[in-house]
Chains A and B, each alone.
Chain A
Amino acid sequence: MSSTLQGLRCKECKREYPLEALYFCPDCFGPLEVAYDFSGLDAEEVRRRIQAGTTGIWRYADFLPFETRPASSLEPGLTPLVKADRLAEKLGVGEVWIKNDAANPTHSFKDRVVAVALAKAIELGFDTIACASTGNLANAVAAHAAAAGIDSYVFVPSDLEEQKLLATAVYGTTLVGVDGAYDDVNRLCTQLAEERGWAFVNVNLRPYYAEGSKTLAYETAEQLGWRLPDKIVAPIASGSLFTKIGRGFTEWLDLGLIEGELPAFHGAQAAGCSPVANAYAEGHDVCRPVRADTIAKSLAIGTPADGPYALDLARTTGGSIESVSDDEIRAGIRLLAETTGIFTETAGGVTTATLAKLAEAGELGTDDRVVVYITGEGLKTLDAVREGFEMHRIEPTLESFAETVAEPALA
Chain B
Amino acid sequence: MPITVKIPAQLRPATGGEGEIEIESAATVGDALDAVFAQHDGLRERITEDGDLRRFVNVYVSGEDIRFQDGLETAVADGAEVTILPAVAGG
Residues of A that sit less than 8 Å from B by CB? 12, 22-24, 26-32, 132, 182-184, 186-187, 189-191, 193-194, 200, 202-203, 206, 237-241, 286, 288-289, 291, 301, 303-306, 308
Contact = CB atoms under 8 A, between A and B. Distances in A.
Contact of A303 (B14, B46, B65): B65
B87 A305 contact: yes
A233 to B, nearest CB: 18
B91 A305 contact: yes
A291 B68 contact: yes
A130 to B, nearest CB: 12
A194 B65 contact: no
A29 B68 contact: no
Given A32-B88, A189-B89, A202-B91, 14 more contacts: A26-B13, A26-B46, A29-B47, A183-B90, A184-B63, A187-B60, A189-B90, A203-B90, A206-B88, A206-B89, A238-B91, A289-B67, A303-B67, A305-B88
A28 B46 contact: yes
Interface SS of chain B: mixed
A29 B91 contact: no
A288 B67 contact: yes
Contacts of B1: none
A24 B67 contact: no
Contacts, number: 92
A29 B57 contact: yes
B88 A24 contact: yes
Contacts of A303: 58, 65, 67, 87, 90
Nearest to A23: B88
Q: Which 6 A-B pairs have the closest CB atoms?
A: A238-B91, A24-B86, A31-B88, A186-B90, A29-B56, A26-B10
Q: Bin chain B's interface residue count.
A: 20 to 34
A29 B90 contact: no
B59 to A, nearest CB: 11
B91 A304 contact: yes
Contact of A190 (B54, B55, B63, B89): B89
A205 to B, nearest CB: 10
B10 to A, nearest CB: 4
**Which of A31, A32, A238, A305 gathers the greatest number of chain B CB atoms within 10 Å?**
A305
Contacts of B67: 288-289, 303
Contacts of A29: 46-47, 54, 56-57, 86-88
